[in-house]
């Protein structure tokens, strides 16, 4: 007899499996998946032409608290992945930027993300993968509207 699994539990299991695989990839780079995600956000913003990235920008993007982001940035700075300098627009805020070690890392993350997604969806047709991505995009849009 099969038991109907609640949607939330399915999402939680998928999230854990995805994060585990991404953690393995991040670990090979000496990072956690959360650190890698923050680096990816910095890298994407820089690639889009953003010249001054502040901690509060990253907190909004990553949906984390100020203390949590402070610790993340400090660890990334100690590991040589980011530099923090006084902001030019407002010196009260630190300008956060990639170092040579992490510049363009968002491209690596995208490739790893696609690799893990393909692995988890190995029995899906291309049409089913596209449909799944479209539906999850719609769910995210609904979440943002709340």
Please report whether residue 69 resides in a domain: yes
- Average pLDDT, whole number, for the chain? 91
Instruction: Give the confidence band of 2 by pLDDT, cuts at 50, 70, 90.
Output: low
- Percentage of the chain beyond pLDDT 70 is 99
**pLDDT of 140 strictly over 60:** yes
Per-residue pLDDT tens over the stretch 115-125? 999 999 999 99
Residue 2 within a domain: no
Helix, strand counts (H, E) of the chain: 6, 2
Residue 63 lies in a domain: yes
| Residue 1 belongs to a domain | no
pLDDT at 51: 86
Minimum mean pLDDT range among 6-10, 87-91, 138-142: 87-91
Q: Considering the domain boundaries, does residue 134 fall inside one?
A: yes
Long-range contacts of 91-97, Cβ-Cβ distance < 8 Å, separation of 24 or more: 93/54, 93/55, 93/56, 94/54, 94/55, 95/52, 95/53, 95/54, 96/42, 96/53, 96/54, 96/55, 96/58, 97/42, 97/46, 97/53
pLDDT at 75 over 60: yes
Structural domain contains residue 60: yes
Q: Closest Cα partner for 121 from 108, 136, 109?
A: 136
Instruction: Round to whole Å and give the CA distance between 112 and 51.
Output: 26
Number of domains the chain is built from: 1
Looking up residue 13, the CATH number of its domain turns out to be 1.10.10.10
Helix, strand, or coil (residue 85)? strand
- Identify which has the larger pLDDT, 92 or 43: 43
Taking the complete model, does pTM exceed 0.85, yes or no? no
Tally of CB atoms within 10 A around 116: 18
pLDDT tens-digit series, residues 18-74: 989 999 999 998 998 889 989 999 999 999 999 899 999 999 999 999 999 999 999
Domain boundaries, position 75: 7-145
CA 68 to chain centre: 15
């Amino acid at each position: 007899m099969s038991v109907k699994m609640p949607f939330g539990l399915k999402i939680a299991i998928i999230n854990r499996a995805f994060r585990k695989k991404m953690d393995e990839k991040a670990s090979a780079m000496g990072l956690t998946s959360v650190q890698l995600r923050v680096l990816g956000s910095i890298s994407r913003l820089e690639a889009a032409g953003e010249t001054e990235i502040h901690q509060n920008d990253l907190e909004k993007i990553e949906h984390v608290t100020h203390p949590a982001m402070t610790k993340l940035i400090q660890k990334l700075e100690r590991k040589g992945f980011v530099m923090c300098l006084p902001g030019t627009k407002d010196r009260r805020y630190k300008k956060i930027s990639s170092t040579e070690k992490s510049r363009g890392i968002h491209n690596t993350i995208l490739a790893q993300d696609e690799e893990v997604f393909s692995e988890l969806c190995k029995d899906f047709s291309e049409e089913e993968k596209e449909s799944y991505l479209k539906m999850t995009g719609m769910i995210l849009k609904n979440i943002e509207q709340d």
